[in-house]
């Protein structure tokens, strides 16, 4: 990808530290999954409804759906996924 004439600071590997681009992509996918977990369901919520509920200006039904059903489910899914990743890594050894 780089040759002798390309300065080291212009290569992707140097700019993103090897796997940095992969990690950035995975974090972006995680953000998309969180957004979809909060918006998609039997009652669809828009970004403006979610934002209004988080700032305290939303209606009671939206706040109930968001804070009592979807957000705890999303947090639990993140914790379970992280726990499975840690357990898998521990089983393989360091």
DSSP class of 65? I
The reported pTM is 0.71
Query: Is 53 within the bounds of a domain?
Result: yes
Count: domains in the chain: 1
Query: Is 3 within the bounds of a domain?
Result: no
Query: Is 30 within the bounds of a domain?
Result: yes
Identify the pLDDT of residue 22: 81
Query: Is 63 within the bounds of a domain?
Result: yes
Query: Is 17 within the bounds of a domain?
Result: yes
> Domain range holding 47?
8-92
Dist CA 15 CA 55 (whole Å)? 37
Q: Would you say residue 79 has pLDDT above 80?
A: yes
pLDDT tens column, 54-64: 999 989 999 99
Query: Is 2 within the bounds of a domain?
Result: no
Query: Is 88 within the bounds of a domain?
Result: yes
Backbone angles phi, psi at 20, to 5 degrees: -60, -40
């Amino acid at each position: 990808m780089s040759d002798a004439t390309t300065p080291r600071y212009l290569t992707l590997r140097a700019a993103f530290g090897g796997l940095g681009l992969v990690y950035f992509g995975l974090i972006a996918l995680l953000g998309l999954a969180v957004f979809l977990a909060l918006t998609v369901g039997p009652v669809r919520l828009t970004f403006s409804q979610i934002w209004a509920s988080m700032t305290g200006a939303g209606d009671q039904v939206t706040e109930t759906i968001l804070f009592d059903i979807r957000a705890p489910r999303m947090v639990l899914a993140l914790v379970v996924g992280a726990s499975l990743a840690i357990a898998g890594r521990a089983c393989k050894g360091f």
